[in-house]
A and B are shown apart, each in its own frame.
Chain A
Amino acid sequence: DGGITQSPKYLFRKEGQNVTLSCEQNLNHDAMYWYRQDPGQGLRLIYYSQIVNDFQKGDIAEGYSVSREKKESFPLTVTSAQKNPTAFYLCASSSGQGERLSGLAGVTDTQYFGPGTRLTVL
């Protein structure tokens, strides 16, 4: 059964603690992404990775860190430096193909999302 899993579903953290959110995919996708979703804010990109051992900052990377040691896994660490970490965190993956590698305009690189992790700082 292919898909993206995120764990845990709910996470509680005390102020000053680091916490790591898990994201695993068995879709054989090259690219993976982390988003944060706040009420009324839509999805904002934290980090993304196009290939193993490489990743780039998104729009709101401050206070977060990631690693991409395996193709299937892209864990996100929320550090104590993140000022307002309470949010819904979504992981996504895509093939990384699209028109860039296929050479065909119009072939999009669909992002598939996991079920999310709701992080609450107490």
Chain B
Amino acid sequence: QKEVEQDPGPLSVPEGAIVSLNCTYSNSAFQYFMWYRQYSRKGPELLMYTYSSGNKEDGRFTAQVDKSSKYISLFIRDSQPSDSATYLCAMRNSGYSTLTFGKGTMLLVSP
């Protein structure tokens, strides 16, 4: 079993839809959870990070962490064509440790 599992998609939705992106993980020591957005042929940019369990909201984006289920989600409300990108989840332990990435989910939002 891989440490972090993420459906590669593509996930196609119409403009204005609510999008749900998810990752599951196996390492119960993970404490920090991030979502990166990557446009084609560009470097990833950090969207949100969450420490431990709970929800975090930033504009149209909401990140959720359920450590009991080892499951994290990113919700995008009122999706826009400019949201079309690959979304990567990443996570790490406490202390200094490197990030473990999911493979990324490609999202396509059509006008």
Interface residues of A (CB under 8 A from B): 4, 33, 40-45, 48, 50, 58, 88, 90, 92, 96, 98-100, 105-106, 108-116, 118
Contacts and interface: CB of A to CB of B under 8 A. Distances in A.
Nearest to B49: A108
30 contacts: A33-B98, A40-B103, A42-B6, A42-B103, A43-B44, A45-B98, A45-B99, A48-B98, A88-B41, A90-B43, A90-B44, A92-B43, A96-B96, A98-B96, A99-B94, A99-B95, A100-B95, A100-B96, A106-B51, A106-B52, A110-B34, A110-B46, A111-B46, A112-B46, A113-B44, A113-B45, A115-B42, A116-B42, A116-B43, A118-B41
Closest CB pairs A-B (n = 5): A113-B43, A106-B51, A42-B103, A43-B101, A42-B101
B21 interface: no
A37 to B, nearest CB: 9
Contacts of B45: 113
Contact of A42 (B51, B95, B104): B104
Interface of B: 6, 8, 32, 34, 36, 41-46, 49, 51-52, 88, 90, 94-96, 98-99, 101-104
